[in-house]
Amino acid sequence: VVTYNSLMHGYCLQNQVDEARTLLDLMVKMGYSANVTTYSTLMNGYCKVHRVEDALNLYREMCDRGLVPDVVTYTTLVDGFCRIGKVEAAIEVFSEMTATGQSPDVTTFAVLLDGLCKCKHLDKAMRLVQDLEDRKVTWDIYIYNILMNGMCISGKVDYAMELFSSLESKGLKPNTVTFNTLINGLCKEDRRSEALKLLGEMKDKGCSPNAATYDVLIRGFLKPNEMSKVAELVREMSSSGFSVD
RNA sequence: CGGGCCCUGGAC
């Protein structure tokens, strides 16, 4: 079963969820029984490509076969609904999971927060943060990144910068995504010089810029046609080993 | 053996 699950995971990573699904039928024919991981893997494969209906069908199928969905299964579904913008449905799944006595973990909160943030429901996201605190779930850098991104999306870049400043005091290190998120937020607001300052800061802190970092900055400087800066960034990007296309 | 964050493309 573990072998089949790993194979399915591999297919899903290559966006070949239908092939992965075929393996489910095959393993049953071979007399193996799928477990919760099997179903969660496939459901995630479907959710990633926005085929949440198919994921739901698998969810029903696994329940029919007497399998009990766990926190990963529920989190996968919450994520799926968020990805297609159905945050209300995601919240329902979240409630259903707590109703069945499963505790949402930091990842469950992260996906739901991300869904709320991306729909610009920053207020609701903040209420969920309160819930997260009440449950004594410890924050990780993903939670911070998601909230900072949500603030930027909702036009509150300064709040995001404030949250960023509070990271060290919480004992958390910003990562590349943290900086990218803020640089993106600043560039979207045409605050390019501050964005450049963050690029410097990330390097100083030993946090390597990646292709997304340069992508965001280059787009930012292309907008006002600051071509010398664009050229400089492009040079830096390719000398760092990233392809410039 | 399975779940979460940034940019661009895909896929839908």
A86 touches strand B (CB under 7 A): no
Question: Residue A4: in which H helix or E strand, if any?
Answer: helix A2-13
Gap from A48 CA to B11 C1', Å:
9
What pLDDT was estimated at residue A55?
98
What pLDDT was estimated at residue A127?
98
What value of ipTM does the predicted structure carry? 0.95
Gap from A126 CA to B3 C1', Å:
22
What pLDDT was estimated at residue A206?
94
What pLDDT was estimated at residue A134?
97
Gap from A121 CA to B12 C1', Å:
24
Distance CA A18, CA A112 (A): 26
Contacting residues 175-194/A vs strand B (CB within 7 A): 175-178, 180-181, 184
Q: What is the dihedral of CA A61, A66, A71, A76, to 10 degrees?
A: -10
Q: How far is CA A116 from CA A58, A66, A125, in A?
A: 25, 32, 6
Residues 6+ apart with CB under 8 A from A123: none
CB A185, CB A150: distance < 8 Å: no
Ranges of residues in chain A with a pLDDT under 50 are none
CB A236, CB A199: distance < 8 Å: no
Residues 6+ apart with CB under 8 A from A31: none
Distance CA A206, CA A185 (A): 21
Gap from A235 CA to B6 C1', Å:
21
Distance CA A116, CA A227 (A): 37
pLDDT digits (tens, 9 = 90+) for A122-177: 999 999 999 999 999 999 999 999 999 999 999 999 999 999 999 999 999 999 99
> Model's pTM, two decimal places?
0.96
Residues 6+ apart with CB under 8 A from A172: A139, A140, A141, A144
Shortest CA to C1' contact from A150: nucleotide: B5
Nucleotides on strand B lying under 7 Å from protein C-beta: 1-8, 10-12
What pLDDT was estimated at residue A16?
96
